[in-house]
Every structure is written in C-alpha cells, then in structure tokens.
Amino acid sequence: MSKTPASPKGKPGPKSQPRKAAAKPEAGASPEGDRIAKVLSRAGVASRREAERMIAEGRVSVNGKKIDSPALNVTAADRISVDGQPLPEAEAPRMWLYYKPTGLVTSNSDEKGRKTIFDELPEDMPRVMTVGRLDLNSEGLLLLTNDGGIKRKLELPSTGWLRRYRVRINGRPKDEDFAPLRKGLVIEGEKFQPMTVSLDRQQGANAWLTVGLREGKNREIRRAMEDIGFTVNRLLRVSYGPFQLGDLKPGEVEELRPRVVRDQLGLEPEEETPAARPTRSRGGKPAGRPMGKPAGKPSGKAPGRPGKPAGKPADPRGGRPAQRGGGKGPGGKNPRR
C-alpha cells in the first residue's frame, strides 16, 4: 500500500492559501453625484433651504419615487421632478444688479401683504434669488442670481466682501462719536464687527456718512447708530464687494456680463452666446414668460458706466465724489465694464 511521501524533515508540507476577499468600498467614501437640494438650487428651482422644505413637503420625486429627506445624492442619470414636472436643465450662472427702492420687502412673500421686490421686477426676468437683504426702508444695490451656489458663496461670512453704504442721520455728530462703531459693539448680547465710518458733510439738521461693513445682520447699521444716540433717516447701499450701484435708477435692473461673473467668482469658463439687451425696468415689453420660469439667453450688454445714485430728495453723494469699488475688494476695478 503506497503512502504519500512525507515532507523533508524540519519542513512543513504546503498549506492551502485562503481565497482573497472581494474589494469593498472604502469606509467614508463620498457617494457619487451631488445632494438633491444643491441640484434643485443649481437648476433655479429654489434656494437650498427652500429646496429642503419642498422635499420635506413631498413635492420632489427621484426616479418616480417621492423623497422626504435631502440626505440623498443624485447624478445626471436620475430622473428628478418637482410638483410632477421634470426638473429643467440648469442654466448658466447669471447675476443682475438691482436698485431696490424703499417700501419693498426683500422676500418671496410677505405675511403682512406688503409688496415684495419680486412683485416689481421686470416680467421677463427668470426666477432669481437675492444675495442677502435690504430692509423695507433701505434702498440701493441688491444682487440677484439664478444660481443657489453663487448666492451661498456671496453670503458666507468667510467671503468677507465689503458692503458700502451712504447713510443720513439726524443730528450734528463729531467724528469721535463713531469710535464705538469702529471698535465693534455688543447690542443686546449680539456682537457687531468693527465698521468703517467717515463723516462726510453736515446738511442742515442731518449729517451724511459713508459706512462700510463685512457682515449682513438684520438692520445692523440702524441698530448701531441708535446705540450711540443717532437715528438713520436714509440708508442707501452703493456697493457689495466689487459690484457697484453706479448710475442705476430705483427699480432698474442690469445683468452682468458672463465673463465678469466668472472672473469675480472664480467660475469655470463656459461658451458665451449672443443675447438680447438686459432688462432695464418693469415698464418694458414682457417676454411672454411668467415669473419663475427661465427666460432668454444671458445678456451680452455691459452694464452702464458708474455714476451717482439717483434721487435728489437729499443728495447721498454729499457734495463729494462717490465712494467706489467697495474698498480693496477682490475685484479691483469696476467689474461692470
């Protein structure tokens, strides 16, 4: 009877090797695609926050199934619908400069029934979102965009772009009265970052100031002035970072050139196509599209040359050259040219 030869003395026989397990995805690896709220925002449906509310209300479906959580990544292969309608293709990022008049609320709707800026924007405008806010009695430059990513980027405190205002207060202040604002205030437990304040001129019972800040807290300038004993009776924003109000009149809108938007925000280049002139006012001929739906192609018209803000009830320039360019913002020269 034959036997299997033994291994040489001192050397163990060969052992069978275990089969290698199939590779598994690394723990913590990011799923493909983008968050659903970001995709909805990019398509101009709503801001991210609004998109999350729409999802919670069951208004959004992915591949025929309603979703109730924004914690979902989607790709171009997914079929997305909102209120039963397919998601429109994302438009190229666009931005507009808007002179917000006083008496309008900066919101999509108002619980008190007051008019909003969206009630007064030109009818041929696509659906847009505001970058930050201006309160009811404030006026001047308000940035509009069709892209939720741009809105979020410009509103982040880390962006730190200087917002410059012409401010009229009642009283006869001295320059040293504004020292607390330059150092930074704490009002009712809320910390206000230091502001730049210059006393420009006295006009009768009022004084004109130029104020710069890098935050956007609710009624920040009015509250700060009240804290040091002065009342603001006119407030006009003249610049937001490199973007300037220029010669816009109350209620007018001008679109920025696509190249300006790309250069100022560091976006990837896209092929530009010729387009119609930008909308200037609500009184123009409607484009036949209701508010909230995409309109025509981006405008190729350069915004107008900067000048003094409109309105002569009390000259906000105060007899001095207008403050230009938002200080040393990232844009340098006027990006509207």
CA distances from 50 to 57, 121, 134 (A): 11, 20, 19
Low-confidence ranges of the chain (pLDDT < 50): 1-2, 4-5, 7-8, 16, 18-25, 271-278, 283-315, 317-334, 336-337
Do residues 205 and 167 make contact, with C-beta atoms less than 8 angstroms apart?
A: no
pLDDT at residue number 29? 54
Beta strands in 39-184 (DSSP E): 60-62, 65-66, 73-74, 80-82, 85-86, 95-100, 129-131, 139-145, 163-170
- Spatial CA neighbour of 261 closest among 186, 174, 331: 331
Do residues 98 and 139 make contact, with C-beta atoms less than 8 angstroms apart?
A: no
Is 158 in a helix, a strand, or coil? helix
The residues, any chain, with a CB within 8 Å of residue 223's CB and separated by 6 or more, are: 187, 192
Beta-sheet pairing, 253-255 with 95-100 = antiparallel
Mean pLDDT over the full length of the chain = 77
Beta-sheet pairing, 206-213 with 190-192 = unpaired
Instruction: Find tokens 């309109």 and name the residue.
Output: 295
Q: What's the burial of 236, exposed, middle or buried (CB within 10 Å: 0-12/13-18/19+)?
A: buried
| Plot region of 182 (φ>0 → left; ψ -120 to 50 → alpha; else → beta) | alpha
pLDDT at residue number 289? 36
Residues with active-site annotation: 135
